[in-house]
Amino acid sequence: MNALLLTALLATAHTNVGGTVALSNGRAAGHAVVWLEGASGAKPLHGVVIDQRDRKFIPHITVVTVGTKVEFPNHDTVFHNVFTEYHSEKFDFGMYARGKSKSQVFDRPGLAVLLCSVHSEMSAYVMCVDTPYYAVADGKGHFSIPDVRPGTYTVHVWHESGETYSKREPVESGAALTLRTHR
């Protein structure tokens, strides 16, 4: 599980932590979630929506901060029965039709897996973090976390494949940071 390679470059002072995440097989860790634990000041986000369209959850991967309420509207022509697995608890929103919406507050850090019991191919992830410093990498694994205050953080990475990364790292302004992890 612990075999991600993270190469992070700290660009300029006080500032931007960015880099590239790769999987253990060398491929890009597209849409990996990267966050820096150990920073205070995270506030709940507003207006977070995970849409249901064309039998998909959009977006597929969402990061929220603790206390964020997420809306799950159905804009599809068919019914969906959305449920999540979150801290080993199952939240079932029941069947609901086009135009209806359900919501859930994510009150603890952790990963929630979103599924539909009608359409097994539907899935999405919500990563709840307790930090203002996080990013979702693009399809090539590139990420950027702006405005990071220098300090020592635990850098976490999660990828849909199940690979994860976790390491305490000093983040200094103006310094290049390369993180490697081996199984």
User: What values do phi and psi take at 154, rounded to 5?
Assistant: -95, 115
Piece in contact with Cu ion (CB under 5 A), picked from 1-9, 24-32, 74-82, 143-151: 74-82
Nearer to Cu ion, 113 or 118 (CB): 118
Task: Determine, following the binding rule CB under 5 A, whether residue 156 of this chain makes contact with Cu ion.
Answer: no
Residue type, 48: V
Task: Determine, following the binding rule CB under 5 A, whether residue 31 of this chain makes contact with Cu ion.
Answer: no
CB 151, min distance to Cu ion, A: 43
Nearer to Cu ion, 23 or 83 (CB): 83
Piece in contact with Cu ion (CB under 5 A), picked from 37-45, 63-71, 113-121, 125-133: 113-121
CB 115, min distance to Cu ion, A: 9
User: Which structure tokens are listed for 31?
Assistant: 């849409």
Residue type, 102: K
Of the candidates 179, 147, 157, 175, the one whose C-alpha atom is nearest the C-alpha of residue 10 is 175
Which 118-137 residues touch Cu ion, going by CB under 5 A?
A: 118-119, 122
CB 81, min distance to Cu ion, A: 7
Which 78-107 residues touch Cu ion, going by CB under 5 A?
A: 80
Nearer to Cu ion, 39 or 116 (CB): 116
Piece in contact with Cu ion (CB under 5 A), picked from 25-33, 76-84, 145-153, 172-180: 76-84
C-beta separation of 183 from 16 below 8 A:
no
Which is it for strands 142-148 and 15-22: parallel, antiparallel or unpaired?
A: antiparallel
In this structure, the number of other CB atoms found within 10 A of the CB of residue 9 comes to: 14
3-state secondary structure at position 34: strand
Nearer to Cu ion, 43 or 53 (CB): 53
3-state secondary structure at position 175: coil
Nearer to Cu ion, 119 or 149 (CB): 119
Of the candidates 111, 114, 97, the one whose C-alpha atom is nearest the C-alpha of residue 58 is 114
Count the site residues for Cu ion by CB under 5 A: 5
C-beta separation of 169 from 155 below 8 A:
yes
Q: Which residues in this chain contact Cu ion in the complex, by CB under 5 A?
A: 80, 116, 118-119, 122
